Amino acid sequence: MFREQNKKMHRLLERQLRKWLPGYPEIPSEMRDLFCAINESYFHHDNDRLMVENAMRESSDELTVKKGQINQLLDDQTIVINSLKEAVVRLVPETEIGVETDLLCIADILQESITRREVAESMKEQTDQRLLDIIDNLNLGMVEYDVEGRLTDVQNNFASMFGYDVAELEGKTANFFQAGEKRPAEKACLEGFHFSISKEVYEAPLRKKNGETFWLFCTTTPVYDLNGQLTGGVMVVFDITSQKKLESQLRHARRDAEAALEVRKTILANVSHELRTPVNAIVGITSLLSGTTLNDIQKEYIQTMKFSSDGLLVLIDDLLDISRIESGKVELEKISFSLSQILHVLSRSLGLKAEGKGLKFNYHIDEGVSEYLFGDPHRLNQVLTNLISNAIKFTHEGEITVKIELRKNESEVQRLYIGVKDTGIGIATDRLGAVFQEFSQEDSSTTRKYGGTGLGLTISRKIVELMGGSLNVVSEKNVGSEFYFEVDFRKSEAPAIQKENFNPDLAGVRVLVVEDNPVNQFLATSLLKTWNAVVEVCANGVQAIDMLSNVNFDVILMDLQMPLKDGFETTVELREKYHLTTPIIALTANAISGERDQCLQLGMNEYMSKPFQPEVLYRKIQELIHKDQSEMRA
Amino acid sequence: MRTEQTLWKEDTGWSAIHPESINGQANLVFAFGGIDVIKKDQVFSELQKRYPKAHVVLASTAGEIHGNMVFDDSISVTACQFEHTPIRIHKLSVKDYPNSFSCGEAIREELASEDLNHILIFSDGISVNGDELVRGVNQNLPEGVIVTGGLAADAGRFTRTYVGADSPPEPDQIVAIGFYGTSLKVNHGSQGGWDVFGPVRKVTKSEANVLYELDGESALEIYKRYLGARASELPGSALLFPLCILGENSNSQLVRTILSIDENEGSMKFAGNIPNGANVQFMMANFDRLVDGAAQAAEMSIADNQPDLVMMISCVGRKIVLDQRVEEEVESVCSVFDNRPAFTGFYSNGEISPLMNTVGCSLHNQTMTITTYQEG
């Protein structure tokens, strides 16, 4: 039956039929359909089983392969995740990432980190903007440029300083700001403007779009990228045009002031001449008087007069040379002098004045103070005169005491304490420092009451400082003051020139005095004649040249300031035109520094400022005559 | 509503009508038959003669369900008399429309009205993309309208199916029946009972319902490998391993069966769309679960009423797998209803039914889909 339906009988069914169906292989016809269905279901079941087994095997194989792939992927992913974790820890150092931390967790961390970064970036932007706003408000201009000096980022303020729009300046170089320059003088300056890629600070004049010139203060600094590569620079500029104007004004003002100072100097020089001329006469006459036969009282008067006039000359010099004193150009003399003599004279002159006010004046010199010291007796006299005069001026009762104390005594040098003490009105503590200032007195009421220029203490202090000391004051209001200083002096023998040995003699020497002032003419001729010289006088250079072309002289005393032809012109003409070699001694009432050099340069042989010491003049004449004679002999 | 049923078999002819109550009063007749018999003109003419007032709807199958039994090459006829429910039939040819979606839209446009209650669709099972068809029907469909039905079959040959209404059945036809009013209570249930197995694969190349590659590998080759010796029985044997389209959760799983294969292209045509990028997994029958699944579908459809008619549309794949045990699933459905309603239906190339707890209907494969009717 199954063969008919082209189907085999299932082995199980065949076994079952053989075992359980009597008469098999004969099958009852009514049972054939049943066995047929059973047979089909057996095959169906087998097929299903085979198919399922096949499918399961396939599935299993596939899943095994997939599992292998997944494991491999997992291993790869683990490596990736671990390196990701390391990266995250580096990125966000405070995070704690454990072994079990999964990707979602890392994503959260990154998300949070990104959010924080965004916030930070936004804050940074705000900060940057704020800084830019601040720069805007500060009126600073800022630009960035590359290494070639081409602008890459122009801040609005910078552009508007020049009157440009930002867009007009992008990519421009420093040359752009110098374009259209016409004046060559400024061109040189403008070329100084450059976009530097190093640290620089400079000022430069620049040209605006409308042609106007203005000044900028420029600072530059280099800019580097994250790799440390130089990418260009940043320049911050500040408009200093108004400062520059002010500076220029100040410069002009200073020039004016200097001119004014020059005028003052000239005036002082003229005043000097006017003042010195009469004083010169007094000094000269005094000198002549002291050469005559005098009784003791007359001698003493003459000596007092001489000291006073000398002091007056020094004072005039100080006034004239106040600027010299201030600039420290005053040089002290280093000659032998007698301190006791100075004090003696002072007690004569100022002592009398003090007594006139009903004040006691006394001085004390420590035993052991050397009789003769090296130093500048006139300056010392000047200081003491000033201090004592002040003391007298500000004291109404009591006494003035000058103290010379020996503070240190070495083989060569003595340190002396020199103080002037009074019982006067004193100085308020808070004004003590001010009294040494130029043109300063304790207060303006003092000036009204006591007069004075206020220069005295300043000059005194400067002189003391030049001597190597320091002028100080201790004072108590309404009790008194003491001005004092300590100075080192070198000990000295008696002065080289003793007046007792001075016996001048110019017998037979012919002297020409060229001098316009009659008093000075008289003084000079009188003096020279006492020395037995042959003296001729003429009043100016013209007369002198005229005379010299006819008569020979041994020496010429030449005043510098004269009408018609002054001493300078006359000398030049004599030397260059007439080749006259007669020694010329310049005599001048000016005590202007530099004049001596000028005289010698023009061909004069000596220079003396009036009033001169007769001894010095005599010595110089002697020297020149002998030198002249020895040269002639040679 | 009242029903009567009769069965034609080649060896026995028409069976006695049971119960013989409505006779000429029937207004809707369902006739499901084997591919070779249903297409015969005299079948339609005889039914038309017997039920002159009724719309006669015919469809070819892969097995007819009649009562609690399953037949092959028979004709199962169920005549219904709806007393309070207006019925409209719309029949169209697939060839008159650019695609299946348009066919669905046409059906909805034709049948939709305010009191539309239910649409029952019998469609060609080869030339129609069932997925697109139901998508077209669902488009703008009034809320609460239940759409169920099935794709005609051809005994697992997958070459040509026949559908007809009020005329002899023909290929490429779609018949949709609209039920109106509130008198008719329609319920539905659908269950598979298949187990997934093997690796989850991703659809890497597909176009609509044509699948080319899974995980970059030819899908047809994979099928052949899994079918082993039964690869030669393709495409029918592919019904043994339906494809499960995995959704985001287990409720939204869809099962797809093969309609045909193209050896030249290496492609496989499915009864519904296989979306590109979808995750899919092979499924395999578990006899007990298939049977249990059918009973569960019945329970889902029973709701709180005692239906007059139970329409079972099961899948050809289930029939192939269950083979001689196929009646077990029908019996398990019948046993759920204790009021002895009329049972009819067939083994199809695809089932149409809403997913559980959702409104829009879907095309299913490999399920037992049950629609119950009660008019009261």
How much is the average pLDDT of A538-555?
Answer: 88
- Residue numbers of the domain that contains A591: 503-633
Q: Does A58 touch chain B (CB under 8 A)?
A: yes
Instruction: Say whether residue A50 is in contact with chain B using an 8 A CB cutoff.
Output: yes
Read off the pLDDT of residues A160-186 as tens digits, 9 standing for 90 and up.
888 999 888 888 888 888 644 444 444
A47 close to B (CB below 8 A): yes
Lowest mean pLDDT: which of A44-48, A411-415, B4-8, B171-175?
Answer: A44-48
Chain B residue nearest residue A39, CA to CA: B324
Domain identity same for A390 and A475: yes
Whether residue A539 is predicted with pLDDT greater than 70 in this model: the reply is yes
Q: Residues A336, A472: one domain?
A: yes
Look at residue A449 and give its three-state secondary structure. helix
Shared-domain flag, residues B187 and B198 = no
- Inspect the interface and report whether the beta carbons of B284 and A52 lie closer than 8 Å: yes
- Judge whether B8 and B38 are in contact, CB under 8 Å: no
Which of A80-94, A395-409, A615-629 is modeled with the greatest confidence? A395-409
Q: What ipTM did this prediction achieve? A: 0.75
A59 contacts on B by Cβ (under 8 Å): 197-199, 226, 282
> Of A161-170, A349-358, B12-21, B109-118, which range is least confident?
B12-21
DSSP-assigned states of every residue in A245-264: HHHHHHHHHHHHHHHHHHHH
Mean pLDDT comparison of A111-115, A126-130, B78-82, highest-scoring range: B78-82
Range of the domain at B149: 2-191+288-375
CATH number at residue A175: 3.30.450.20
The three-class DSSP label of residue A372 is strand
Under 8 Å between Cβ of A592 and A329: no
Cα dihedral A367→A371→A375→A380 (10° resolution): 60
Q: Is A70 on the interface with B (CB under 8 A)?
A: no
- Name the domain count of chain A: 3
Size of interface A-B (CB pairs under 8 A): 44
B231 plus B322 within the same structural domain? no
Closest chain B C-alpha to A67 CA, distance in angstroms: 10
Instruction: Judge if A485 and A518 occupy the same domain.
Output: no
Containing B376, the helix (H) or strand (E) segment is none
Identify all chain A residues contacting B229, using CB atoms and an 8 Å cutoff: 50-51, 54
Spatial contact of A163 and A210, defined as CB atoms under 8 Å apart = yes
Is A302 part of any domain?
A: no
Give the position of tokens 């009864």. Answer: B271
A44 and chain B in contact, CB less than 8 A: yes
A197-201, A496-500, A538-542, B332-336: lowest mean pLDDT where? A496-500
Domain final position from B268, B285, B302: B285
Least confident window among A156-170, A381-395, A421-435, B113-127: A421-435
Give B-chain residues touching A44 at CB under 8 angstroms.
323-324
| Residue A65 contacts B, CB cutoff 8 Å | no
Kindly give the pairing relationship between strand A534-538 and strand B163-165: unpaired
The residue among A491, A523, A556 that closes a domain is A491
pLDDT tens-digit readout, B80-122 = 999 999 999 999 999 999 999 999 999 999 999 989 999 999 9
Give the closest residue to B188 by CA, choosing from B27, B305, B83, B101: B305
Q: Are B320 and B240 in contact (CB under 8 A)?
A: yes
Of B199, B228, B323, which has the smallest distance from its Cβ to A51's Cβ? Answer: B228
Q: What is the pLDDT of residue A277?
A: 75
**Low-confidence winner among A74-83, A122-131, A303-312, B76-85 (lowest mean pLDDT):** A303-312
Same domain, residue pair A377 and A406: yes
Same domain, B114 and B172: yes
pLDDT at A135: 74
Instruction: Count up the domains in chain B and report the number.
Output: 2
pLDDT digits (tens, 9 = 90+) for A92-106: 777 777 776 777 888
Q: Does any domain span residue A9?
A: no
Question: What is the residue-averaged pLDDT of chain A?
Answer: 82
Q: pLDDT grade, residue A1 (50/70/90)? A: very low
Handedness of CA A289, A290, A295, A299 (dihedral sign): positive
Given this model, what pLDDT does residue A633 score? 46
Note whether B20 and B74 are same-domain residues: yes
CA distance B196 to chain A (A): 11
End of a domain among A429, A462, A491? A491
pLDDT(B356) > 60: no
Chain B interface test: which of A10, A36, A49, A51 (most B C-beta within 10 Å): A51
Which of A240-249, A451-460, A539-548, B14-23 comes out lowest in average pLDDT?
A451-460
- Tens-digit pLDDT profile for residues A285-309: 887 888 788 888 888 888 888 777 7
Looking at A239, A272, A294, the residue that finishes a domain is: A239
Do residue B18 and residue B40 come from a single domain? yes
Tens digit of each residue's pLDDT (9 = 90 or more) over B239-259? 788 888 887 765 567 788 887
Best mutation target among B201, B223, B226 (most A Cβ atoms within 10 Å) is B226
Within chain B, residue ranges assigned H as helices are: 35-38, 41-50, 100-111, 130-138, 219-227, 287-302, 316-322, 326-334
pLDDT > 90 fraction of chain A, expressed in percent and rounded = 16
Which member of B199, B241, B323 has the closest CB to residue A55? B241
Is the per-residue pLDDT at B45 higher than 90? Answer: yes
For residue B22, what pLDDT is reported?
78
Q: Which positions in chain B touch A55 (Cβ < 8 Å)?
A: 197-198, 226-228, 241, 282, 284
User: Is the pLDDT at A315 greater than 70, yes or no?
Assistant: no
The CATH code of the domain that includes A325 is 3.30.565.10
Residue A4 CB-density burial (10 A; 0-12 exposed, 13-18 middle, 19+ buried):
exposed
Q: Is residue A75 part of a domain?
A: no
Residue A20, in any domain of the structure: no
B229/A51 Cβ within 8 A = yes
